[in-house]
Amino acid sequence: MKNVKLLLTVLSLVLALSFAASAQSGILTSIDGQKIDVQGQKDKVVVLAIGASWLPLSNQQAIFINKLAKKYANSDVVIYFVATDSTSAKSKNYASDDEVRKFASGNKMNVTILRDSDGLATLKKYNIDQLPSFVILDKNGKLATEPYSGIDPKSDITISISQAIDKIM
């Protein structure tokens, strides 16, 4: 019995480290179960819109996401919404994939929705201190600018994000 407990502990640790390694390497899972390497999108500029379904400002963020997606629809720019809602039902910030889908659908988001399963890996990786935020990765998968953190509902953040994208293109 002692060996079984030890084995379960070791397996749990290995699984936890593999999830952390995935987030650190830039691999996130879409709500459809597809693994996406956001840093491995060769010759593409990647915009990560990082928010949460429970966060009221993410509704405003969705408007900006849709505006950027429309502007860059036929270009080498890929836009993702990264939901930081926890996938652990024990967490106070928990949201199921269906709840995140409902949030995306209600905001008419037309981009791929990714999950940051613990809700913190993406924030730590890109040194984000506020939600919602936008992160731009250059064509080599490197951080192109400082994150655009927080949203002022009275201003259009897509202007400065578009200028940064256009410089990279």
pLDDT per residue, tens digit, the chain (169 aa), is: 554 343 333 333 333 333 333 344 689 999 999 999 999 998 999 999 999 999 999 999 999 999 999 999 999 999 999 999 999 999 899 999 999 999 999 999 999 999 998 778 999 999 999 999 999 999 999 999 999 998 888 899 999 999 999 999 9
Place of tokens 């250059």: 138
What distance in Å separates the CA atoms of residue 147 and residue 75, rounded to the nearest whole number?
22
Which domain CATH number covers 43?
3.40.30.10
Its pTM stands at 0.84
> Considering its fold, how many domains does the chain have in total?
1
What distance in Å separates the CA atoms of residue 141 and residue 45, rounded to the nearest whole number?
8
What distance in Å separates the CA atoms of residue 54 and residue 83, rounded to the nearest whole number?
10
Residue 51: per-residue pLDDT: 97
Residue 25: per-residue pLDDT: 60
- Which is nearest to 65 in space by CA: 115, 134, 3? 134
Strand ranges in 7-154 using DSSP code E only, listed in sequence order: 27-30, 35-37, 45-51, 77-83, 112-115, 133-137, 148-149
What distance in Å separates the CA atoms of residue 25 and residue 62, rounded to the nearest whole number?
26
Containing domain of residue 10, as a range? 2-168
**Residue 36 contacts residue 28 (beta carbons within 8 Å):** yes
SS3 140: coil
Residue 152: per-residue pLDDT: 87
**Residue 5 contacts residue 90 (beta carbons within 8 Å):** no
Residue 8: per-residue pLDDT: 34
Beta strand pairing call for 77-83 and 45-51: parallel
Q: In b/e form, how buried is each residue of 24-56, taking b as 16+ CB within 10 angstroms?
A: eebbbbebeeeebebeebeebbbbbbbbbbbbe
